[in-house]
Structure 1
């Protein structure tokens, strides 16, 4: 397998912080019942938890947020460059399939908000892509699979 390529940067952009500070809502949470929402206006979340984006649906949503962020005129040149690189990674292939990309959000700085709740104020964005399987890697994987099957399900010649 070829090694994955990686791009890391830190950001305080709202779109990235929302992955840490806001809960992920499921489709059945789209109701107007906010009885489970706490004092901060959101469901309680862990601001120290990392978020991993791998599924095609999540990648599509992230790509839309990245495109929206690039439209903001007040975006700093450094943030713009990093976000453009992230967009390039997300646009690499036509569809979000296989194991070729993942995006991680790792919280790095924290502060207490007006409601006394700790929130993430800076996040490290790690984009990884590539790592295609070589023919040598494919052969090694097949050999390992055969050996594993033989050890898990040995063929008895006694029968």
Structure 2
């Protein structure tokens, strides 16, 4: 397999919180995993909308705290292959009541507001060599445990 890749982004936009509430089933401090095509499409739609607002320079774009480059990367990854299938992409949302922890002490003075940590994972596609190895392992396994 190819190595899996991961990207983290702290999000505060209300639309991400709406999705989190809908799929967390009432567990306020839960982590959720979004793997189904419909769920990934919802995330992609939100990212496209935020990027469009930033491009237009609308008054709402000033309220968007998410970084444009990371939003573009999320859009690119979710648009790969043209459709959602397989197990090669997922989005995790993790509730953070006081925002993402910071390393420097100078930022501790500001009161933190709740945020979500969006974790996007992708990759891990089966390579041709991996396919051959899997087939050989399957043959050995069937010989060891016939019937």
Q: Normalising to structure 2: TM-score of the pair?
A: 0.71
1:137 aligns with 2:130: yes
Q: Partner of 2:5 in structure 1?
A: 5
Question: What is the correspondence of 1:94-133 to structure 2 with a 5 Å cutoff?
Answer: 94-109=82-97, 121-133=114-126
CA distance in 2 between partners of 1:59 and 1:44 (Å)? 18
Q: Partner of 1:91 in structure 2?
A: 79
SS in 1 for 2:130: helix
CA distance in 1 between partners of 2:38 and 2:89 (Å)? 13
CA distance in 1 between partners of 2:25 and 2:37 (Å)? 26
**What root-mean-square deviation, in Å, do the aligned CA atoms of Structure 1 and Structure 2 show?**
2.5
Query: How many matched pairs?
Result: 126
Q: Normalising to structure 1: TM-score of the pair?
A: 0.67
CA distance in 2 between partners of 1:7 and 1:103 (Å)? 10
SS in 1 for 2:86: coil
Unaligned 5+ segments in structure 2 are 54-59, 100-112
Q: Flag the structure with higher helix content.
A: 2
SS in 1 for 2:7: strand
Q: Partner of 2:22 in structure 1?
A: 23
1:62 aligns with 2:61: no
Question: What is the correspondence of 1:42-57 to structure 2 with a 5 Å cutoff?
Answer: 45-57=26-38
CA distance in 1 between partners of 2:29 and 2:133 (Å)? 38
1:47-99 deviations in Å (ceiling 9; x for gaps): 221111111121222211212222241223x5323222211111122111222
